[in-house]
């Protein structure tokens, strides 16, 4: 696990397609095998940041730029394990601008997977959070922790599970000095009544609150104490038990302003409004014990990312797919996956369809997200399918982006973010046929609008030679005249210098710009 954010480390990771299917059974002898190989073909390569190789993400339909919501895309790419090819680029938390250019990238260490990057607020200040941990090839969570970095990309909080609970990648919500998380625990249980083994193991799901200051577990609500096992749409493995039974699979939390939360349980096809004070379930939406009569066109299965919206509406990602029937094998879908907005009537106890957002019949077996944006648009992350899409409120596709196979992201968010790195900008110079090109970048800096190149005979004798607009993550600046020493200075919108690189020179051995790395790393 990481206790501090490490920059420019050449490390990657990959993760199972079925995320967090449960905690590994004790004594099973299984072990996760991180896939530490990636290809730079289809990934970025930067002269000034040679150890960063985020994947290139592209659009596949014309973009309606004037109708898009503001913000940066928050993703964390990893490998779809159902594919055999290596990851394209490194995996890790990644911020993208509206042109799909990297803004900040922190490659994951090779012994963990990084998922669920989000922008939040801690103690009144903007932060980024994500999950890192170890997962088996069949999606069982071995270990995990949540990390929080500030606007300068310094780690300000970490959190691991307590009392035998393992934090899952599905949710991490910061409220004040506390965090609300999803967690799993293996519980030995006689499952013969459910068709399993008398010596079976249940994967219990919990919604928990922890102090980020003391790491103390403040509140824990476990599904097994409140939701009958018979409500599960999955069945335990027959005797002898091989795999723990993931009867609930909590995969999202939504906190309300009146002391309640909504928890989504993928394996029961239902979401639950829970009173935090009493732990009692106020209502159930969907599944076998629904408090609402759900209209036929509003019914959902294997859902993710359930959120209460103003006016009694609920948004969610309806996977409509799929029961796990073997390692990496899924039952047929019941329909295309879609983003949904439902209207709940607590008087008539009905749930009706307000809007749905589909994508050419995509069928998503696992993962997915649904976000209603600041201007009313809707952002859908397609989980195991390598797309994320922005729609108008009425359902018009405005923007569509695709990861290169086999890269995917558990969720995709669009959020405001201002990054001011604690580390300086990066610069490099290369000479080709007697002409010098200077390269400038600053991983995570969002306020840079221009670069100024300083050059001279020594670090103490430099002057400005050119100023140019920032272009993408790395700006290449061709010079008319070569010099012995260079540095680059980042300028904000007012022309103020907000960062200065270390001085650098053209490498003596580099007569030409080196080609991008090839092969696997």
The per-residue pLDDT for 114 is 93
Q: How far apart are CA 499 and CA 424, in angstroms?
A: 6
The per-residue pLDDT for 134 is 84
CATH number for position 456: 2.60.40.10
Q: Which range has the worst mean pLDDT, 198-207, 235-244, 404-413, 491-500?
A: 235-244
* Residues 387 and 439 reside in one and the same domain: no
Beta bridge partners of residue 294, listed in sequence order: 351
pLDDT by residue (tens digit) across 139-173? 678 889 999 999 999 999 999 999 999 999 999 99
**CB-based contacts of 480, cutoff 8 Å, min separation 6:** none
Among candidate residues 358, 384, 415, the one where a domain is terminated: 415
* 518 pLDDT more than 60: no
pLDDT by residue (tens digit) across 228-246? 999 999 999 887 667 899 9
* 35 pLDDT more than 80: no
**CB-based contacts of 338, cutoff 8 Å, min separation 6:** 317, 318, 320, 356, 357, 358, 359
* Residues 120 and 156 reside in one and the same domain: yes
Residue at 515 is within a domain: no
* 297 pLDDT more than 90: yes
Give the count of domains, the chain: 2
Task: Find the domain containing 205 and state its range.
Answer: 22-415
For residue 175, the Cα-to-chain-centroid distance in whole angstroms is 19
Which band of pLDDT confidence, cut at 50, 70 and 90, is reported for residue 517? Answer: very low
User: Mean pLDDT throughout 106-111?
Assistant: 88
The per-residue pLDDT for 263 is 98
Q: What distances in angstroms separate CA 149 from CA 2, 63, 315, one per listed residue?
A: 11, 32, 28
* Residues 454 and 391 reside in one and the same domain: no
The per-residue pLDDT for 8 is 27
* Residues 244 and 382 reside in one and the same domain: yes
Residue at 421 is within a domain: no
Which band of pLDDT confidence, cut at 50, 70 and 90, is reported for residue 111? Answer: confident
* Residues 227 and 279 reside in one and the same domain: yes
* Residues 60 and 195 reside in one and the same domain: yes
The per-residue pLDDT for 140 is 73
Length of the chain measured in residues: 521
CATH number for position 136: 2.130.10
The per-residue pLDDT for 241 is 63
pLDDT by residue (tens digit) across 411-456? 999 999 999 999 999 999 999 999 999 999 999 999 999 999 999 9
Q: Which of 72, 95, 46, 94 is nearest to 440 (CA)?
A: 46
> Using an 8 Å Cβ cutoff, are 362 and 379 in contact?
no
Among candidate residues 393, 415, 437, the one where a domain is terminated: 415
The per-residue pLDDT for 327 is 60
For residue 438, the Cα-to-chain-centroid distance in whole angstroms is 33
CA torsion through residues 129, 133, 136, 141, sign: negative
Residue at 55 is within a domain: yes
* Residues 331 and 472 reside in one and the same domain: no
User: Mean pLDDT throughout 320-341?
Assistant: 84
* 104 pLDDT more than 80: yes
Higher per-residue pLDDT: 472 or 84? 472
Residue at 464 is within a domain: yes
**Full 3-state SS string of 196-215:** CCCCEEEEEEEEEEEECCCC
The Cβ of residue 93 has, within 10 Å, a number of other Cβ atoms equal to 27
* Residues 385 and 446 reside in one and the same domain: no
User: Mean pLDDT throughout 494-521?
Assistant: 73
* Residues 459 and 404 reside in one and the same domain: no
Which band of pLDDT confidence, cut at 50, 70 and 90, is reported for residue 19? Answer: low
> Using an 8 Å Cβ cutoff, are 505 and 485 in contact?
yes
* 9 pLDDT more than 50: no
Locus of tokens 């009144």? 124
* 392 pLDDT more than 80: yes
* Residues 269 and 401 reside in one and the same domain: yes
| CA-derived radius of gyration, the chain | 24
Residue at 420 is within a domain: no
Residue at 136 is within a domain: yes
Residue at 276 is within a domain: yes
Residue at 377 is within a domain: yes
**CB-based contacts of 53, cutoff 8 Å, min separation 6:** 38, 40, 43, 44, 45, 89, 90, 107, 517, 521
Locus of tokens 């929080």? 148
With a pLDDT cut of 90, the percent of the chain lying above it is 80
Average pLDDT, the chain: 90
* Residues 71 and 33 reside in one and the same domain: yes
CA torsion through residues 229, 230, 234, 238, sign: positive
Q: What is the pTM of this model?
A: 0.92
* Residues 434 and 406 reside in one and the same domain: no
> Using an 8 Å Cβ cutoff, are 114 and 129 in contact?
no
């Amino acid at each position: 696990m990481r206790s501090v954010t490490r920059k420019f480390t050449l490390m990657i990771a990959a993760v199972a397609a079925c995320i967090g299917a449960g905690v590994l059974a004790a004594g099973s002898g299984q072990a996760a095998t991180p896939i530490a190989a990636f290809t730079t073909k289809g990934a970025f390569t930067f002269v000034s940041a040679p150890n960063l190789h985020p994947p290139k993400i592209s659009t596949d339909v014309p973009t309606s730029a004037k109708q898009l919501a503001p913000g940066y895309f928050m993703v964390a790419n990893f490998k779809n394990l159902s594919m055999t090819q290596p990851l394209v680029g490194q995996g890790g938390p990644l911020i993208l601008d509206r042109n799909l250019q990297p803004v900040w990238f922190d490659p994951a260490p090779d012994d963990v997977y990084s998922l669920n990057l989000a922008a939040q607020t801690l103690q009144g200040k903007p932060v980024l959070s994500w999950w890192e941990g170890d997962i088996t090839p069949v999606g069982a969570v071995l270990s995990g922790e949540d990390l929080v970095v500030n606007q300068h990309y310094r780690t300000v909080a970490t959190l691991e599970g307590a009392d035998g609970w393992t934090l899952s990648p599905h949710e991490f919500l910061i409220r004040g000095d506390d965090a609300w998380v999803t967690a799993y625990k293996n519980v030995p249980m006689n499952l013969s009544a459910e068709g399993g083994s008398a010596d079976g193991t249940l994967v219990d799901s919990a919604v928990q609150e922890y102090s980020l200051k003391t790491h103390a577990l403040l509140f824990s609500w476990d599904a097994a104490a409140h939701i009958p096992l018979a409500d599960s749409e999955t069945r335990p493995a027959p005797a002898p038990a091989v795999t723990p039974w993931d009867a609930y699979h909590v995969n999202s939390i939504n906190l309300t302003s009146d002391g309640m939360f909504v928890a989504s349980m993928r394996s029961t096809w239902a979401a639950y409004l829970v009173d935090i004070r009493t732990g009692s379930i106020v209502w159930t939406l969907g599944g076998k014990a629904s408090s609402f009569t759900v209209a036929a066109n509003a019914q959902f299965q294997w859902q993710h990312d359930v959120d209460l919206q103003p006016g009694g509406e609920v948004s969610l990602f309806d996977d409509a797919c799929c029961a796990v029937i073997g390692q990496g094998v899924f039952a047929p879908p019941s329909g295309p996956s879609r983003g949904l907005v439902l209207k709940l009537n607590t008087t008539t106890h009905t749930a009706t369809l307000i809007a749905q957002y589909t994508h050419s019949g995509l069928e998503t077996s696992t993962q997915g997200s649904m976000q209603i944006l600041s201007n009313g648009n809707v952002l859908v992350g397609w989980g195991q399918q390598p797309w994320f899409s922005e729609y108008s409120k009425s359902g018009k596709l405005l923007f569509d982006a695709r990861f290169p196979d086999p890269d995917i992201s558990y969720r995709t968010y669009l959020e405001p973010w201002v990054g001011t790195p604690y580390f300086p900008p990066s610069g490099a110079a290369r000479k080709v046929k007697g002409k010098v090109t200077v390269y400038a970048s600053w991983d995570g800096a969002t306020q840079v609008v221009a670069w100024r190149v300083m050059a001279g005979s020594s670090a103490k004798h430099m002057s400005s030679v050119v100023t140019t607009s920032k272009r993408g993550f790395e700006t290449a600046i061709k010079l008319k005249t070569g010099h012995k020493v260079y540095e680059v200075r980042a300028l904000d919108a007012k022309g103020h210098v907000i960062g200065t690189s270390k001085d650098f020179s053209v490498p003596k051995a580099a007569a030409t710009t080196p080609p991008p790395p090839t092969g696997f790393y």
